Amino acid sequence: MRFATDLGAREKGVYRASFEDGLLDAFCGLGLALMGVAWIFDIVALGPIAPAVLISIWPLARRRIVEPRTGFVRFSPEREAREKHKVIGFIGIGCGTLVAGIVVYLAVRGGGTAGWGHLVAGLPALLLAVGAVIAGLAIGLPRFLGYAGLLVAAGAATIHWHLDPGWSLLAGGLAILGVGVFLLAGFVRRHPMVTSSEQ
């Protein structure tokens, strides 16, 4: 029993460490920044396309950049199933939050609650902050909680300065992208690519 407990704890640690390279952070930051640009240039409908494309590219980039340096880890079927359920739950909560945000956004913009109209600019960043908290808890990465705080601050600044909502996404995205690139650069420096002769 102790062996199984230790093995589970070790697998949990390996799983969490598999996201320490910064690649996920960089992709998330780039996606947010592109969404912000789309919002600023009034092509909001194109905003979700960038994250969708980046999500499909991230595994490919991971195979090209990360796995040649650290190898590939196959997790137990139990963890694979658990992480699949987490992803499904994360998507469900994210969709629910987004729908709620859209309803509030339309109500405020439509004049239903005129007193709250000035808060609309901070709504996108707040919704994404909720997503960052959920992702951080699901994956076990405390820095995503910091990203949530960053997005809340960016949303508050957008409200205070009466800016377009896209600026909070662009600023938050660029900051997260910067952290991701910094982490990735350190990872690449610490872990040189393994050649076929070294395997």
Q: Tens digits of per-residue pLDDT, 26-53? A: 999 998 899 889 888 988 777 778 877 8
Half-sphere exposure of 167 (CA within 13 A, CB side): 15
DSSP string, 158-177: HHHTT--HHHHHHHHHHHHH
Tokens of 132: 């960052």
Q: How many residues does the chain have?
A: 199
If you search the block for the tokens 């995503």, which residue do you land on? 144
Q: What is the pLDDT of residue 5?
A: 44
Q: Tens digits of per-residue pLDDT, 163-197? A: 888 899 999 999 999 999 999 999 999 988 866 55
Q: Tens digits of per-residue pLDDT, 59-86? A: 899 889 988 887 766 666 776 677 667 6
Calpha distance 23→61 (Å, rounded)? 8
Residue 49's alpha-carbon distances to 11, 31, 166, in angstroms, are 34, 9, 15
Q: Tens digits of per-residue pLDDT, 121-132? A: 788 888 889 888
Tokens of 98: 């987004």
